[in-house]
Amino acid sequence: MNAPDASPDPDRELKERHRKLWALGDYGAVAGEVIPRLGAALVTEAGIGPGNYVLDVAAGTGNAAIPAAAAGASVVAVDLTPELLQAGRESAGSGVDLEWIEGDAENLPFEDGTFDAVISCVGVMFTPDHARSAAELSRVCRPGGTVALLNWTPEGFIGEMFGIMRSYQPAPPPGTASPPLWGSEEYVGALLDGLVDGLSTQRATVTVDRFTEPDHFRDFFKANYGPTMGVYRGLDGDPERTAALDRELSGLAERHARPTDAGIEMDWEYLLLRGTGRGGT
């Protein structure tokens, strides 16, 4: 089977909204200042090194693609949002084997079994159709290759944050699943059943020490994180609900925070998973 035809996408309007959402703010600042260690953790788990041909799906600004290339692999970073890819190009610099391609995780522009490893760091979890994305991850990985993902858990900090934000938004379009479900062992096991062999999972946390106080976290995400910015824009003209969301996001950070000499630190939980690809589906 070859790569899917470039036929019109019936979800084009939804995808365009996703592009615009992730182009808001400065996701590079979120990835680079708040969670800079996550991509390297995924690369280590995937066992990526010299000679590997790697695809980073929903790569954003290259949080995993750049350390994969630094480990000696030849890497392709694919993302739906060109603004994120451009920011990644600029931060990666020269001297690494890294290609940036605009593309949809639900319809990857590559032939079956192309890559030795297919990875995604808090990226593919945000696609609307989880089953289509999961099938694509498997399809483009060579038989015996590695599929490795790092996703926020529903019970962790980011899962809680999305639960809060969801209550301030209209209902999502039919068929759109909640992103943190990719961090549930049971859910992702069923999602990848028949697509990836020998799936192993482990939960871990990343310690975030970027913020001085809970309100600092809230204001940083209001100014830089596309999904949070989108929720606030949807509340434009409703000061009471805006103030309520302010309180809930600050309260979330306060519940998770530990004081430090420089401010606060929080542990954000994620699920790390790895399996063996079956190749084209």
Q: Is residue 114 in a domain? A: yes
Full DSSP string of 219-233: HHHHHH-HHHHHHHH
Q: What is the pLDDT of residue 5?
A: 47
pLDDT of amino acid 220 = 98
Q: What is d(CA 175, CA 201) in angstroms, rounded to the nearest whole number?
A: 26
Tell me, yes or no, whether 98 lies in a domain: yes
Is 52 part of any domain?
yes
pLDDT given for residue 176 in this prediction: 83
In this structure, is residue 180 part of a structural domain? Answer: yes
Residue 235 lies in a domain: no
- Concatenating the DSSP letter of every residue in 122-149 gives S-GGGSS-HHHHHHHHHHHEEEEEEEEE
Q: Residue 1 has what pLDDT?
A: 40
Are 209 and 265 in contact by the 8 Å Cβ rule? The answer is yes
Q: What is the model's pLDDT at position 95?
A: 83
Question: Is residue 109 assigned to a domain?
Answer: yes
pTM above 0.85?
yes
Report, as ranges of residue numbers, the positions in the chain whose pLDDT lies below 50. Answer: 1-2, 4-8
Check residue 7 and give its pLDDT: 46
Closest by Cα among 151, 124, 153 to 138: 124
The answer to whether residue 110 is domain-embedded is yes
pLDDT of residue 110: 98
| Whole-angstrom distance, CA of residue 135 vs CA of residue 111 | 13
* CATH of residue 20: 3.40.50.150
For residue 278, the model assigns a pLDDT of 86
Q: 12-37 as b/e, with b when 16 or more CB fall inside 10 Å?
A: eebbeebbebbebbbbbbbbbebbee
Q: Domain of 82?
A: 12-159+173-209+267-277
Look at residue 219 and tell me if it is in a domain.
Answer: no
Closest residue by Cα to residue 270 from 156, 165, 178: 156
What is the total count of domains within the chain? 1
Cβ pair 132, 158 in contact under 8 A: no
- Confidence (pLDDT) at 9: 54
Q: What pLDDT is recorded for position 175?
A: 76
Residue 171: what pLDDT?
85
H or E segment at 185? helix 185-191
CA pair distance 197, 138, nearest whole angstrom:
10
